[in-house]
Structure 1
């Protein structure tokens, strides 16, 4: 024995090595006196004491002084290989022989001869295992590691690799069986009789298995500041002599574990309950073992290599193995890269005469050399750009100290390079399936409970291990059960429990907020798998999933999910990929649940308000559902809360410039990305392009260059199934940017620079118009826009302009607004009559004052049409007038307008005033007009008339069928939901208030819509209104009472509507808020008192309240009371007076359609006659032409529906 306190003096390291050498000699060695070959190992007289001294040296020096000197000395004297392993294997052989003899009844003789002191030898085996665990403990090297640890890191890593090889190969890994036997001896003891020492032995055995799995070759680059200048970490081969990767591979470890029954022990411990073992000692080591067992394995690749999971291969590559297919893909990739290298490499002879030098005006010289750089302008400019040098700003260095002990390849590995032999793969998959069925849920439950109570004590590595363990088995479950349409959620039910979700969410948030990017990376992977899991049909009806969805809607969590990809740009490529995948899954999840009006979440707590449940209700529920009394009471008294998902709001969190930067940076590495990654990237860009208010985020030069490179001959291969989606995106994107450049030429400069975030400038850049900042002026409505005309691309521009004039003039004439058109024609004639024949623009006419250029309507014409008539403002814009943005501005012709254009406009207007315009679709002219709302709703699509190219012929040679790969399943329908659902939801949000879509009857569910051709991508064009709004409209439940069929229509309601029209006419079509409030009280009092009022409302009308008879004398106008309202009021009053006991039943749909048609027909002299002709009977509903009703646009008076027993006010969209 040696005195550990002698580790002092002038050269302590020399003394330490001498002491370790003495201990190594005293432990024991080969018995050369034996005649056996090789000689057996013989224990020293003080073997046990020497082993304990060696443990104390580890504790004194390596642990307390943070050094690796003892471990290095033990490695130099080969204590583990020459002493510890032979002792363990010899002990295992003797114990195994004793067990066999005991089964044969010969244990007494053997016990007296072979194992005379069993407890002594058991203690020696246990101390050997403790020392092995110390010598194989994972090496942690951080920024704070001293220099001597850095210098020893490489050598110790090599020694550990040698240890791993000898443990796995010595007598087929019998050291593993010896450790297994130590654990088995503890399992035989009852839990109540086990001591803390017994539990520590179980933990020691699991740590031994963990260490073996964790030993890997050291990394060439440790960090930017941890290069070993003395030993050359970057240049040294990390494998020791005599050790190959096959000796220490994952295949070798799993094979050794299977032979020595280690996998069975892990299943036993993982599936055990807390009543069998003290979980505090084994929970965390078990999680670490499973983490290292699966961390380098891709579940999809694992299943693909399993013939039982992937099924028979019917593809054309059925004669190739999975490894052969991977090799074929790599060879093809190598061929493409080699072709690029050859194209850009010059030969010795091609360099002659390949120098181009240009002197600039400021006497600087630009030089380009190399024949390949002179092929075209692009290559020459690229060469010049690559030769430029600039002082690049150094990015802020992330806090790497928090990622203590994490190798660079921990989360950055793709997990696709593993290799299992056929027999090993079979055993490993069987172990994973057994663990998933019996061990995953119990272990996850115990780990979650442990970390929930001690979350503050979790180290970084434990957080990552938990998240990776969570995500890996969820993905394996999804890959196996999801593809086989199995609905059993039992194997991973614990993953969607409340405690698991809260812990995963808190770790993700904590990692992001504390800038522990490794934890944030693992958290994104785990959260992505959780979202994919709750979309599984097996979990749709789970209360736990509803709880998760309710928590996902909080602003803090939405903000967190949106911030992760914004900050991913400065991290590694796997980090960016994980953030892209999480964003894609989150948006798909929110979009899928956006179809539901509400999510009903039942809380487990009982509400005090539900104590009045009757006994009859309980008995009826028990009898109908065949449940006991307690369950019935719980169902009836459960507290249910509604949560709604507003997808438009959620989507706005992701629409920002840093997010676009991340996606563009991600797609710029398209040569490294899988097809699935590319599709998710362009899917998001499609989503942004379909939002009018966010399109400007994509108007940037780097995206244009990226799309050009991806579609070049050196970009995405033409045989790739995802290329056609990139082409579709490129076509639509170029169409959008071309249109934006035409309407706003400032974008020619804007695409070269980042977006401007100034409120006024940014607003103009996004919308193409100035932002109104006047607070005391009423805003004018936006003018109507023109839809795409059939075959518009094939028509000359002049012909399209002429058709636009015909459309808007005919629409105004149909609405009885010829006086407006005549006033416009008169103004144009006055302008043109005062110009000289030689003038080209109005600026040349000095005789014309500014007042003559302004358009002002006569008093007998509705002057507000300049501000609130969308169709009239559309024709003014078409002519070239400057449109007023508020009622305080004027409408005038700018001085820069060409006189020839004015003459052409006058000719077109005059022509269609006398000649009817025939629309190509045979519908009214208003079907070609888009009347936008006054406010700019987020997410409203623009109907711009873009038409995609012809379909791709996928049967052509060289085009890969999308169904060949599982990763590209449903490839053609990949973007269907984005364009279809987004637009439908936008239309639903634009319906008039008080209206809702009709629910389809059950019989309609059998009728499936016609499927889109699988070779076509959904067009980005939004169809005509008369096609989009073919759904029937019914009154909303919020407006119609439950007893609507029994209600009597009150004539006071129509009288109130006439008062409202009177006020709108008086105040110029816009009623101030205080007037609206007063009118609400006025209408309510009249309804309550059957038309009488008791209060004073002179402030509302600016004098006495006018009588109904005086209102009936007012002529109908665009804002005045209509004749139909007057006739309806008189008709109902007469019916009530004639038969007061009868209940006048007028169908709500009929009323709604009547009023809507009345609004559309204001100003028409034949409006009353048409109404009387349509409604010949109360039970006959008219057939309405949907094209005449624009549901995207509230009319000037506003669409509304009749509301029974409650007041309804006319909504004017111009306010």
Structure 2
């Protein structure tokens, strides 16, 4: 806004006038009172008005005008700090002064709040005011920590002391607000630093980290932080992340090793560092003098250089006249690629948050070391455990950057604890029996909960590409590994046991192994800090895991794999399958798939370490090694060990045979700017470069193609060929799956089934498959009729009797007829087309080797049991269906009559739950478990057995019973049904108890053996007598049956697959072989328990041998229409098969 004098004011004049009037009304320094500050009449209201201006004008409208006016009015230096100085430290009852002090801090907190540029909310005012306000904040910090009139930080603690002294249950929201206000003020003072690109006009030593640490120590703020941290979770809860922030801004980027050095050690370290830097400077000067410019360098120099291809290149500068290497280097510098500038990444903001390396003086080192030691002893476990819980539950007061600060501090304090222990061991006398304390002081971050949080954070940061958070996670994991390794070497046995368990948990998850390999392999311009953290984690993880795997030979790892692969393969297998609506509902498969997600396998370290040999990981370490001039000996050792592992332990040296890598190794040893020969790593790098170059030249002699491949990166197959001279032999483990089996929904008639199968193929325009099946059946019929006719005309040597009777051709004499596909498409359809496979099965075709896994080359045959008449009947049915396809309702196709056959569920070995059983079966299982211990009767279930459908049975019962169906009281019916089921289970239990009573033989039972033998021999004698009478009467012996041991002619319904009923039938002699055969003539399995439940009537034999029928299920008994009524004569059941 243009002023009357022609100048431009960036703040509205009315706003400036209001702020200046309020600052004037606040008070001032009195000349009559020895320069003391005198408050105005309405000082408290003025302070509150200033707070309202900041809150409702700047914050609500997203402007910084009020803050700019306050900075120019010098409110903090000229008014607020002198006001706080008027509050005596020994004054505890002056409420007015405490309110004035609180009002002052309420203004200073928003004025010192950190400012960040948010692209979405930044306005023109931000660009106008932010640089000036950032400089003003630095001035605020200098005035606060260096104010001579009073201890301002101590005054802030005094403001919050009454609220902190109150129990947590009695604190009001105002008390909580005061505590947070004071902690935010301390946080702001700790984190204010000069901007890296802005020149600060004042004395930097007054606002340095050393000055801040000294102020916190002198004004007892360290004691406040320790008090709150040690009582976190008991007296304080929501203040955890604020305390963590204050500590973070105090210790970030502080060298832990120097922190625990004595003053003499610090001086020696500084002297060594100075000597190293001076040595580098001398080497640089020597190189400059040897190849530096002459006194004629003020004249321009341009020369022509003839290259190997005959082309000429112009090179300017005196450096081109020195030697050939300098000319080539000059040419390379001109060819350097300069990519376009990119937007600032998150890594830059992370480095800005960390700031530059602090330069602490001896006093600051001593004060900070005392605070760190006391914090580790008393406050580390409570604070970081509470912060971790707040982060896990995503508390409202936890912000996004708090997780990164938490991980950074965990890593920093773990390293501090290890350094402190090593310094204690070094300073302790050799003959001292005092042992160093255990690692219980940092146990809160070495538990399973912390590992879960760390793993989840790393995974999320990797997926969201949050590189600063991922860097902090890698630092934290590295320090945890180093701490646990030191615990394993501790003389304390408890520490060794804890370290063993911790390492087993860390290395147990294969997902962590994959994540670390991916992080280091896919590095790309994330910054040097990320590069350093990734390489450090890889180095220590491989080293510690290798040592652990050698000690634990049977180490197991748990891997999680995707479960959708099986479902996807099944869908591909049934690509030509039915459109059944049952397939859409796959929710029932989730649990089945979940069982297959977790697998354990034996750990192979060599196989795991091979994940770190691909070209991506090599490129990451090469990018790290390119900073060799600035790397420490520890970092150089890290890269050296990796290259040695790749080249010599894994025999993958071809991954290092690339022009830029070979050039880098040569530059490090023999180049113009090599490693310092005084360095401890120079000899090792020289030997490594020599051995790698030697192997490279030797490999070039063996594989001349390597000369071309040295220009490119190498994939695993290329590297394998260059290393061994032949391609890698791979075996595919994936097997194709046949099409899903289909079944019919509504019909069991074979004629209708064939008609539906033919109709589906006709609807899909696949009549050629029908013609092929007819051809196979026709050829098989003709061949077998010809064979039968040939054998009929041959004279039979063994034939006797009447020759007029036809001789039946035994089915076993036919040979299986192979159904060979006529083309490749037919062969693929035989494997992948479910409708063709259905028709083939209905036609009687079957696989030649059904016990083996089916493949596309599996053979199908017409079995030997198929007679020519049966084949002709099948052909007639196919022809009939082909010329007269089935017709259904409108919109219904033949395909809708099919559905996918449910596959048998294969349970995991660890799954002990029987989820397929219904409630009644579970009750039965419980009863059996209670009745039969290990070694007793075992209830077995048929794999493809059908279950009882209770609801359907109830519907049938109600349809048969009009009174029941017409009843409106469904609750009574349900109660009655449950009562009947309960009674049925009780009777079943009573039956099982009778069976169980015969499993145990007491000592008193031995005397009944004679009676039992006598009864057995009597039964045998009666049977022989009966057989003799039958032979004398001329009756077929096979038709004579054993008399039933019951009083009534009514038969007992015995389940053919129920063990309990079979036992009863065997005991009482009521079961027959005829009853144990199904409709197809196949013998039913005695181990099944599913089919037996389909028979609704269950007989229970009482102690007297009478049959007690279940009245509740009597209505559901099927009508035995297919089985003829047994004839009883003289107490004997005729036409029985007992004697067969």
Asked if TM exceeds 0.5, the reply is yes
Task: Select 1:66's aligned residue among 43, 62, 69.
Answer: 62
- Find the aligned partners of 1:12 and 1:411 in 2 and give their Cα distance: 34
Greater C-alpha radius of gyration = 2
CA contact (8 A) 1:399 1:515 kept: no
3-state secondary structure, aligned to 1:717: coil
CA contact (8 A) 2:484 2:499 kept: no
Is the aligned partner of 1:382 residue 2:329? yes
Is the aligned partner of 1:463 residue 2:424? no
Q: Which residue of 1 aligns with 2:442?
A: 492
- Find the aligned partners of 1:360 and 1:481 in 2 and give their Cα distance: 62
Q: Which residue of 2 aligns with 1:419?
A: 360
- Find the aligned partners of 2:268 and 2:205 in 1 and give their Cα distance: 21
Q: Which residue of 1 aligns with 2:635?
A: 677
Task: Select 1:441's aligned residue among 381, 398, 408.
Answer: 381
Q: Which residue of 2 aligns with 1:17?
A: 16
CA RMSD, Structure 1 to Structure 2 (Å): 3.1
After superposition, residues 927-938 of structure 1 pair within 5 angstroms as none
Q: Which residue of 2 aligns with 1:286?
A: 243
Change beyond 3 A, Cα 1:569–1:343: farther
Q: Which residue of 2 aligns with 1:649?
A: 607
3-state secondary structure, aligned to 2:115: coil
Q: Which residue of 2 aligns with 1:535?
A: 485
Q: Which residue of 2 aligns with 1:575?
A: 530
Change beyond 3 A, Cα 1:569–1:74: same
Task: Select 1:83's aligned residue among 79, 84, 91.
Answer: 79
- Find the aligned partners of 1:396 and 1:372 in 2 and give their Cα distance: 32
Is the aligned partner of 1:349 residue 2:307? no
- Find the aligned partners of 1:393 and 1:679 in 2 and give their Cα distance: 32
Query: How far is 1:756 from its partner?
Result: 5.0
Q: Which residue of 2 aligns with 1:250?
A: 209
- Find the aligned partners of 2:504 and 2:342 in 1 and give their Cα distance: 36
- Find the aligned partners of 2:730 and 2:402 in 1 and give their Cα distance: 55
Change beyond 3 A, Cα 1:389–1:167: closer
Task: Select 1:186's aligned residue among 158, 163, 167.
Answer: 163
3-state secondary structure, aligned to 1:716: coil
Change beyond 3 A, Cα 1:18–1:720: same
After superposition, residues 530-569 of structure 1 pair within 5 angstroms as 530-536=480-486, 537=488, 538=490, 541-543=496-498, 546-547=501-502, 549-569=504-524
Q: Which residue of 2 aligns with 1:216?
A: 193
Which blocks of at least 5 consecutive residues in structure 2 are unaligned? Answer: 1-8, 426-435, 559-598, 734-1140
TM-score by length of 2: 0.55
3-state secondary structure, aligned to 2:313: strand
Residue deviations 1:912-957 (CA, integer Å, cap 9, x gap): xxxxxxxxxxxxxxxxxxxxxxxxxxxxxxxxxxxxxxxxxxxxxx
Task: Select 1:238's aligned residue among 191, 199, 217.
Answer: 199
After superposition, residues 691-702 of structure 1 pair within 5 angstroms as 691-702=649-660
CA contact (8 A) 2:226 2:375 kept: yes
Query: How far is 1:367 from its partner?
Result: 2.3
After superposition, residues 1132-1211 of structure 1 pair within 5 angstroms as none
CA contact (8 A) 1:600 1:642 kept: no
Q: Which residue of 2 aligns with 1:328?
A: 275
- Find the aligned partners of 1:675 and 1:202 in 2 and give their Cα distance: 46
Task: Select 1:517's aligned residue among 467, 471, 485.
Answer: 467
CA contact (8 A) 1:655 1:694 kept: yes
Change beyond 3 A, Cα 1:568–1:17: farther
Is the aligned partner of 1:297 residue 2:238? no
Change beyond 3 A, Cα 1:374–1:755: farther
Query: How far is 1:215 from its partner?
Result: 0.5
Is the aligned partner of 1:176 residue 2:153? yes
Q: Which residue of 2 aligns with 1:749?
A: 708
Query: How far is 1:543 from its partner?
Result: 4.4
Q: Which residue of 2 aligns with 1:885?
A: none
Is the aligned partner of 1:134 residue 2:74? no
Is the aligned partner of 1:167 residue 2:144? yes
Residue deviations 1:289-342 (CA, integer Å, cap 9, x gap): 1101101311012123555xx6xx9xxxxxx54433333333333333333444
Change beyond 3 A, Cα 1:456–1:675: farther
CA contact (8 A) 1:373 1:379 kept: yes
Is the aligned partner of 1:151 residue 2:111? no
Change beyond 3 A, Cα 1:771–1:681: closer
- Find the aligned partners of 2:17 and 2:350 in 1 and give their Cα distance: 34
| Aligned residues between the structures | 668
Q: Which residue of 1 aligns with 2:562?
A: none
Change beyond 3 A, Cα 1:305–1:342: farther
Task: Select 1:42's aligned residue among 38, 48, 51.
Answer: 38
Query: How far is 1:487 from its partner?
Result: 5.3
Query: How far is 1:460 from its partner?
Result: 3.3
CA contact (8 A) 2:26 2:40 kept: yes
CA contact (8 A) 1:590 1:645 kept: no
Q: Which residue of 1 aligns with 2:800?
A: none
Residue deviations 1:1148-1207 (CA, integer Å, cap 9, x gap): xxxxxxxxxxxxxxxxxxxxxxxxxxxxxxxxxxxxxxxxxxxxxxxxxxxxxxxxxxxx
CA contact (8 A) 1:598 1:642 kept: no
Q: Which residue of 2 aligns with 1:231?
A: none
Change beyond 3 A, Cα 1:341–1:156: farther
Change beyond 3 A, Cα 1:687–1:483: farther
3-state secondary structure, aligned to 2:552: coil
Query: How far is 1:184 from its partner?
Result: 2.3
Change beyond 3 A, Cα 1:496–1:692: closer
- Find the aligned partners of 2:307 and 2:476 in 1 and give their Cα distance: 57
- Find the aligned partners of 1:438 and 1:481 in 2 and give their Cα distance: 16
Residue deviations 1:348-369 (CA, integer Å, cap 9, x gap): 3368896531467999531234
Change beyond 3 A, Cα 1:151–1:365: farther
Change beyond 3 A, Cα 1:572–1:337: farther
3-state secondary structure, aligned to 1:357: strand
- Find the aligned partners of 1:360 and 1:524 in 2 and give their Cα distance: 48
- Find the aligned partners of 2:260 and 2:416 in 1 and give their Cα distance: 8
- Find the aligned partners of 1:648 and 1:721 in 2 and give their Cα distance: 29
Q: Which residue of 2 aligns with 1:260?
A: 219
Query: How far is 1:582 from its partner?
Result: 0.9
- Find the aligned partners of 1:582 and 1:463 in 2 and give their Cα distance: 19
3-state secondary structure, aligned to 2:465: coil
3-state secondary structure, aligned to 2:314: strand
CA contact (8 A) 2:63 2:126 kept: yes
CA contact (8 A) 2:27 2:37 kept: yes
3-state secondary structure, aligned to 1:349: coil
CA contact (8 A) 2:556 2:601 kept: yes
- Find the aligned partners of 2:556 and 2:166 in 1 and give their Cα distance: 46
CA contact (8 A) 2:618 2:655 kept: yes
CA contact (8 A) 1:138 1:211 kept: yes
- Find the aligned partners of 2:499 and 2:59 in 1 and give their Cα distance: 45
TM-score by length of 1: 0.52
After superposition, residues 978-997 of structure 1 pair within 5 angstroms as none
Change beyond 3 A, Cα 1:273–1:209: closer
Is the aligned partner of 1:658 residue 2:608? no
Is the aligned partner of 1:453 residue 2:429? no
Query: How far is 1:498 from its partner?
Result: 1.5
Change beyond 3 A, Cα 1:772–1:466: closer
Residue deviations 1:1083-1130 (CA, integer Å, cap 9, x gap): xxxxxxxxxxxxxxxxxxxxxxxxxxxxxxxxxxxxxxxxxxxxxxxx
Residue deviations 1:611-634 (CA, integer Å, cap 9, x gap): xxxxxxxxxxxxxxxxxxxxxxxx
